[in-house]
Amino acid sequence: MKSYFITGTDTGVGKTCFTAGLALAMNASGINVGVMKPFATGIPQKTGYQSEDVKILADASGTKDAERLINPYFFPIPASPYMAANKLNAVIDIRIVLDAFEKLQSLHDVVLVEGIGGIMTPILKDYHVADLIKDMNLEALVVTGSQIGTINHTLLTCDACRRYGIKAKGIIINNSDSSGYAVDDLKADLTNLSGLDILCSIPRLHECNTNEVSKILLENNLLTAL
């Protein structure tokens, strides 16, 4: 099975919950899976991993890998890596991220890499999440929502993949419910407009329940599709 980069149409679309659910499903299926979130920002946790997202990913995968490998860069302000580094007078070295990824690849059969924000979130002035996906030579899984406007956001993300020469494996619709686009209509429209398969749709959950997401992914045979 291949490693994948999980990107999304925006921040808050559920990349972490999906990635953790996928890692747990792989782990339960006997796959040696590693996880990585190269860049994380926000309020630091008081104990353990600095990033709550990183803790969710690590717990789901069962990994004991060092935090410096899973999350090479954490900035304690809610902003893009580019903006956060500028505000904190920090220096980002992409080579550190790529070296950590290569190490994780040597330790695991599959590595799931979760991006920060959307695919064009800036990491450096002229280097975005899309550049990182390209440098890692990974296929992308695109996580999107079901709210009105999601088609525009999803098509822009898919267009960025094409412009950067990134192969998008397919789309995951997250947080689908009756308050936005009807999920069956959304599946049909996104398939027709993007040319990509809808790999799975995940209903809206009250909170990020990794066990429930893993169950949904296994019931939908997502591992077979990958």
Return d(Cα 34, Cα 151) in angstroms, integer.
Answer: 31
In contact, 28 and 222? CB cutoff 8 Å: no
pLDDT at 48 over 90: no
Spatial CA neighbour of 40 closest among 59, 58, 49, 53: 53
In the numeric block, which tokens belong to residue 59?
Answer: 């717990």
Choice among 37, 55, 169, 187 that is catalytic: 37
User: Kindly report the CA angle at 225 between 29 and 1, in degrees rounded to 5?
Assistant: 55
Return d(Cα 177, Cα 202) in angstroms, integer.
Answer: 9
pLDDT at 60 over 80: yes
**Domain spans, the chain:** 4-36+53-61+110-225
Reported as a pLDDT band with limits 50, 70 and 90, residue 178 is low
Spatial CA neighbour of 150 closest among 116, 123, 187: 187
In the numeric block, which tokens belong to residue 162?
Answer: 């094409």
Superfamily name with CATH number, domain 4-36+53-61+110-225: P-loop containing nucleotide triphosphate hydrolases (3.40.50.300)
The arithmetic mean of pLDDT across residues 155-171, rounded, is: 98
When the pLDDT of each residue in the chain is averaged and rounded to a whole number, the result is: 95
What pLDDT score does 177 carry? Answer: 67
Q: Is residue 37 annotated as part of the catalytic site, yes or no?
A: yes
